[in-house]
């Protein structure tokens, strides 16, 4: 009998096709988040689960999913999975790093450029029929070339963001819990403490994982350190930024603009005050949303499941100690 796999959302067909070659696959056939009660009922008899960042994998889930050998997250972030709890129960967890690095860095830099040069405001200006002539003072923005790009986090995506900054002759400074002197030499980066990055940067881009230590890492105190002309970019996780503090800073002119692909909460409520600001550009968590990358993500998640169900090591397992203990 084929192993049973549950997929919690419609995903690119390439990943589904891989799974269907050797598994009995059940899919939540919707673009909406699977309801919690449906999710718990569906995973009860499954050997593997391909889940998304919107699916909470916690003790309650694991109590129900007694047959599950792996929860494979189709995302690089995995704050939705209690990895420690999975490990205690001998259940593998995995994510999809690497395959979305360049695409996410592309989008982060796109947000940076769009916020700096007021692209959304210009688009709306034209569509509102307001463009009557060329204006010397119309929608002036911030220069990107030769500006200082500050990176909070220098993992895969942060490193690629640095490379993109170099293409615009930017000075790139960074802060990370691990200093990367090899990348400083290779890319000409400057290491600085957290406060210095905030104070000296024209653009601050966030590339840290979400965890208790990074919850509201950027709040009132940190925003006050930034330049009035500074732009904040977040393609990591919404809760890394305190949304009320950000609204206050943007509204008062304490910082100049923000470009967000992630919010707290998600999706952002339509009455959220951030949506009232012209200097806050918000996208619906689409940094990895290219055809090639989403296909690659679905295939990697599927291959993690297939490996686990065949007794092999999943390519991007998060808790390899489960294999060592077995």
Q: Which of 276, 191, 187, 198 is nearest to 241 (CA)?
A: 198
Question: Cβ distance 175 to 202 under 8 Å?
Answer: no
Q: Is the peptide bond before 265 cis (omega within 30 degrees of 0)?
A: yes
At 51 the three-state DSSP class reads strand
Q: Name the E strands within the chain.
A: 4-7, 24-27, 48-51, 70-73, 92-94, 148-152, 171-175, 190-191, 203-206, 231-234, 257-260, 280-282
DSSP string covering 106-136:
HHHHHHHHHHHTTHHHHHHHHHTT---S--T
Rounded distance, CA 255 to CA 188, Å?
A: 27
Could you tell me whether strands 92-94 and 70-73 are parallel, antiparallel, or unpaired per DSSP bridges?
parallel
Could you say which of 26, 85, 190, 266 is catalytic? 266
Residue 237 among the catalytic residues: yes
CB atoms within 10 A of CB 106: 17
Residues linked to residue 81 through DSSP beta bridges, in sequence order: 57
Q: Residue 52 class from Cβ within 10 Å (0-12 exposed, 13-18 middle, 19+ buried)?
A: middle
Catalytic residue among 118, 164, 285, 294: 285
Among the listed residues 237, 254, 264, 294, the single catalytic one is 237
- Token pair, residue 89, equals 């129960």
Residue bearing tokens 């993500």: 297
Catalytic residue annotation: 237, 266, 285
């Amino acid at each position: 009998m084929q192993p049973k796999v549950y997929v919690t959302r419609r995903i690119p067909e390439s990943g589904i096709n891989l799974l269907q070659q050797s598994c009995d696959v059940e899919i939540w056939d919707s673009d909406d988040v699977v309801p919690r009660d449906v999710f718990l009922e569906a995973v009860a008899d499954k050997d593997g689960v391909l889940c998304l960042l919107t699916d909470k994998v916690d003790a309650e889930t694991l109590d129900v999913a007694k047959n599950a050998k792996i929860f494979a997250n189709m995302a690089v972030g995995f704050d939705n999975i209690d990895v420690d709890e999975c490990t205690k129960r001998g259940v593998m967890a995995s994510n999809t790093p690497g395959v979305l690095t360049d695409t996410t860095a592309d989008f982060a830099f796109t947000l940076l450029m769009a916020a700096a040069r007021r692209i959304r405001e210009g688009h709306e200006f034209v569509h509102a029929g307001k463009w009557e002539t060329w204006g010397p003072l119309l929608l002036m923005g911030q220069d990107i070339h030769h500006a200082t790009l500050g990176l909070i986090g220098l993992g895969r995506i942060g490193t690629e963001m640095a490379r993109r900054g170099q293409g615009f002759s930017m000075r790139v400074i960074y802060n990370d819990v691990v200093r990367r002197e090899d990348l400083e030499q290779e890319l000409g980066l400057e290491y600085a403490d957290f406060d210095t990055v905030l104070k000296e940067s024209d653009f601050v881009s966030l590339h840290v994982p979400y965890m208790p230590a990074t919850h509201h890492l950027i709040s009132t105190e940190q925003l006050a350190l930034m330049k009035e002309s500074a732009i904040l970019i977040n393609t990591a996780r919404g809760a890394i930024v305190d949304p009320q503090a950000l609204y206050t800073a943007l509204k008062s002119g304490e910082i100049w603009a923000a470009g967000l692909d992630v919010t707290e909460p998600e999706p952002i409520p339509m009455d959220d005050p951030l949506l009232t600001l012209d200097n806050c550009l918000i996208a619906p968590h689409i940094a990895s949303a290219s055809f090639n990358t989403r296909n690659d993500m679905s295939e990697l998640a599927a291959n993690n499941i297939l490996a686990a169900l065949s007794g092999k090591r999943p390519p991007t397992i998060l808790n390899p100690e489960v294999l060592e203990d077995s």
